[in-house]
Amino acid sequence: MSQRIKIKALLQTAPAEQEVNVKGWVRTFRNNQFIALNDGSTNSNLQVVVDFNNTDEALLKRITTGAAISATGKLIASLGKGQTVEVKATEIEILGDSDPEKYPLQPKKHSLEFLREIAHLRFRTNTFGAIFRVRNSLSFAVHQFFQERGFVYLHTPVITASDAEGAGEAFKVTNLDLLNPPKTETGEIDFKQDFFGKATNLTVSGQLEGELGAMALSDIYTFGPTFRAENSNTTRHLAEFWMIEPEMAFYDLDDNMDLAEGLLKYVIKYALEHNREDIEFLSQRLQEEEKGKPQQERSDMTLLDKLQFCLDNDFERLTYTQAIDILKDSTPNKKKKFQYLIEGWGADLQSEHERYLVEKHFKKPVILTDYPKEIKAFYMRQNDDGKTVRAMDILFPGIGEIVGGSQREERLDKLEQRMDEMDIPKEDLWWYLDTRRFGACPHSGFGLGFERLVLFVTGMGNIRDVIPFPRFPKNAEF
């Protein structure tokens, strides 16, 4: 097995009639002679040429689309279009048969909706091969970015008793008998008898625990799965998704924005350098898809242009108040084209507003700061005006919000006052408040939804297509 060479490496090897071994899955088999073989290392297939006159007919019949094979032979220069080398096979071994009548992935164009139904096989298509290689590179680049800067990778709990900011419905975790749970004297479920001795749920964010780490290790980041039990059947929501959440001691909001902008540019640049072929393929795919859209809905830029554009431009920074003024005076607002009209200060910005600022007004990524405290979480540092908090959201073209963060409230009295105002029980978060009692310091952090990032870099339109096995209402297949 160890002698196998991956197709990506083989396609970059100079042919000298050296003997090589490749393994992969048959994409097509033409004229009983030409196998297009793919092993997932690249979208490009390797042509394996079979000497059909000297090959057993029973073996030839088993070389079908989807079959796994091993081919040994000489690496020679190819005369075929679009390839420099091919393998002239001396030995073919079938590793796994594939019934061509039943194999769902025929050599033709399949809709994304159909491929979602067979997500266990969609990795074998060019589109999803490209997406998941890009996802892999982005994931690696995230770790590399933080490790180069001395951050500590912290694993925060998946099962927790806190729901962070009440950002969404949480999935309950229990091993009580659901048909006959133990009850208290007042008739409520007695979670003291549950496995953890209290009500627990799957995490919606690792932030609060991340802050505990930052109060000793200075700079930490988490990168793990988070869960929301919201009944959202949209192209932008998942019930299970991955979050990158750094927390930094001694950072103010400006430091926080600098880090977030630096991270986004770093990982996009890494993907462009290491997955150019995949991104070019996805860019062409997007252009084909856009041809079917009305002119006004088509993007002005190709995917490659859009990614380069984010690298070449400093992100525009402005306050929520400035953004409201721009939106209020905007043509779509005046002509009542927005679904949610902006009537004044205090409005919670929707995706349509965020995209207007990015795509139409500034034509570059935007960072909004200093939101009204009423529409933000309890832990954000309050400004002296009594109305706003040191929050920041990064808005991207086609996506809207991609990063949400803030300078955290380090003053115990202000934090407790805000928790009281928002009916957040202080006794449940005694451990969180301790970090303000013992050696509090200014600190900041943000959350980056990893799938939203992958969505942006791949140009895909549905978040269910950038995670291997999407979890959404009424779907937990595989």
105 pLDDT band (50/70/90 cuts)? very high
Residues 69, 141 within the same domain: no
Amino acid 175: pLDDT? 95
Amino acid 477: pLDDT? 85
Residue 62 burial (CB count, 10 A)? 16
The answer on pLDDT for 270 being more than 80 is yes
Residues 209, 306 within the same domain: yes
Residue 85 burial (CB count, 10 A)? 18
Residues 326, 443 within the same domain: yes
Q: Any idea which of 11-20, 66-75, 394-403, 412-421 has the lowest mean pLDDT? A: 394-403
Q: Is 55 exposed, middle or buried (0-12, 13-18, 19+ CB in 10 A)?
A: middle
User: Residue range 423-452: average pLDDT?
Assistant: 95
Amino acid 297: pLDDT? 74
AA identity, residue 96: G
Amino acid 142: pLDDT? 98
**Residues of the chain with pLDDT > 90: what percent?**
86
Amino acid 70: pLDDT? 97
User: Residue range 14-37: average pLDDT?
Assistant: 96
Task: Confirm whether 196 is domain-assigned.
Answer: no
Residues 329, 448 within the same domain: yes
Given 79, 107, 135, the domain boundary residue is 107
User: Residue range 205-212: average pLDDT?
Assistant: 95
**Total domain count, the chain:** 2
Task: Confirm whether 324 is domain-assigned.
Answer: yes
Neighbouring residues of 211: CB distance < 8 A, sequence distance ≥ 6: 247, 408, 432, 435, 443, 445
Residues 305, 423 within the same domain: yes
Q: Any idea which of 232-236, 364-368, 447-451, 468-472 has the lowest mean pLDDT? A: 232-236
Q: Tens digits of per-residue pLDDT, 162-172? A: 876 655 589 99
Given 73, 107, 141, the domain boundary residue is 107
Which structural domain, as residue segments, surrounds residue 444? 124-168+204-465
**Beta-strand runs (E) in 161-312:** 172-173, 200-202, 219-227, 240-249
Neighbouring residues of 352: CB distance < 8 A, sequence distance ≥ 6: 338, 339, 340
Residues 330, 221 within the same domain: yes
Amino acid 165: pLDDT? 62
Distances, alpha carbon 50 to alpha carbons 21, 29, 70, 95, 149, in Å: 14, 10, 12, 17, 52
Residues 87, 230 within the same domain: no
CATH number at residue 324: 3.30.930.10
Task: Confirm whether 256 is domain-assigned.
Answer: yes
Given 107, 139, 154, the domain boundary residue is 107
The answer on pLDDT for 478 being more than 70 is yes
Both tokens of residue 387?
């109305």
- CB under 8 Å, gap of 24 or more: what pairs does 387-392 form? 388/319, 388/320, 388/321, 390/252, 390/253, 392/253, 392/256, 392/257, 392/260, 392/367, 392/368, 392/446
Residues 305, 250 within the same domain: yes
Amino acid 299: pLDDT? 77
User: Residue range 200-208: average pLDDT?
Assistant: 94
pTM exceeds 0.85 for this model: yes
Residues 242, 209 within the same domain: yes
Task: Confirm whether 187 is domain-assigned.
Answer: no
Residues 142, 21 within the same domain: no
Task: Confirm whether 317 is domain-assigned.
Answer: yes
298 pLDDT band (50/70/90 cuts)? confident
Give the chain's mean pLDDT: 94
Residues 374, 312 within the same domain: yes
Task: Confirm whether 67 is domain-assigned.
Answer: yes
CATH number at residue 23: 2.40.50.140
Residues 67, 149 within the same domain: no
